[in-house]
Amino acid sequence: MRHTVRSLSTGTLLAAMVAIAPRLSAQATRRTAEQIRASYGAHKGEFDYLLGDWEFTSVSREFGAGQGYWSAVQLAEGAPVLDEYRVVGDSGQTWYVTNTLRAYNANLDQWELVSTEPGSGLQNVGTGHRVSDEMHIEQQFGVGTPHPSLWRIRYYDIRPDRFSWTGDRSTDGGKTWTTQWLQIEARRIGPARSMGPLAPARKQTR
């Protein structure tokens, strides 16, 4: 369902990232500090291609042809990426908007994501990994609604001025899939950018 929603603030999403970050399983292999630093250094920039402003066209099995804008900014500390995906109509009206926060977890060697959905709070979580020259994501959407779904998303043909995106969808927990439920072609319209600290360090005054 298409909705018009108010974007969450960066501060709210950052707080949510801390609150819902998954804890390491007791059975997980403990990584050394050197391994964690090396993993973080190797993977922290894997979503840098998304930074900046984009316009896109899309084809949905549910809604048909669509269009919109997609913007991503790198936050100041720890290299997380915050993006806004907005579907618009022919007159520029908003049909749907969602925000996603993407942060790399060096302990588990994976990207972790949380996206907003109208009325669903911060339950739409997922994980991502780089596979060759592509980024692959598995993420839940519509959690807590009558129609939850699981998505397998692939960013591919990634270039400085464009990328392609395709998403397969399952409504039975991954038992069966509808391939290419949504396809997106994005074209860059603005350069990569970052956001400075929201609460920069200051010398205390007495």
- Residue 21 sits at the vertex; the CA angle it makes with 18 and 26, to the nearest 5 degrees, is 135
pLDDT tens figures, 92-147: 999 999 999 999 999 999 999 999 877 777 889 999 999 999 999 999 998 888 89
Domain boundaries, the chain: 10-17+35-190
The pLDDT profile of the chain, 206 residues, written as one tens digit per residue, is 333 333 434 444 444 444 444 443 433 568 899 999 999 999 999 999 999 999 999 999 999 999 999 999 999 887 899 999 999 999 999 999 999 999 999 999 999 999 987 777 788 999 999 999 999 999 999 888 889 999 999 999 999 999 999 999 999 999 999 999 999 999 999 999 998 888 888 887 76
Q: Which residues contact 165 (CB under 8 A, 6 or more apart)?
A: 153, 154, 155, 156, 182, 183, 184, 185, 186
Task: Name the CATH superfamily housing domain 10-17+35-190.
Answer: Calycin beta-barrel core domain (2.40.128.20)
Q: Which residues contact 158 (CB under 8 A, 6 or more apart)?
A: 49, 133, 134, 135
Token reading at 32: 């050394």
Single pTM value for the model:
0.82
Residue 25, pLDDT score: 43
Dmax (CA) for the chain in angstroms is 64
